[in-house]
Amino acid sequence: MGKKVLTAGTFDIIHAGHVRLLIEAKKLAGPDGELVVIIARDENVKKYKGHPPIFTESERLFMMQNLKPVDRAVLGDSRDPISAIEREKPDIIVLGYDQWPTEEWLSKELEKRGLK
């Protein structure tokens, strides 16, 4: 039986590193699993990166929905980045090497909410 794998990010100007991450995440899901990608909202990109994204959240969502490894892509919550994890209940969460939130921050936040 496959796993539900979740990853999230801005994905503004998709590049080879993003595609490699998605391919590896899909491998973790297995042939019967599901890769779910959460796309950061425009307002969160502005807030955390200090500038608006080049592509709108709708454009970034459309691009992600049409990449081969991705089974489902959805927009994140602008107020609570953990709500997508609560909603999706993934078996595995995949983070990029330079991604926020960090593994440490995310582990603490999930533990606070009883999601470990």
Q: Which amino acid would we find at residue 14?
A: I
Q: Of 3, 26, 46, 49, which one is the catalytic site residue? A: 49
Query: Is 49 considered catalytic here?
Result: yes
Q: Of 3, 4, 46, 47, which one is the catalytic site residue? A: 47
Q: Under a CB-based contact definition with an 8 Å cutoff, are residues 95 and 7 in contact?
A: yes
Query: Is 46 considered catalytic here?
Result: no
Q: How far apart are CA 44 and CA 46, in angstroms?
A: 5
Active-site positions read: 47, 49
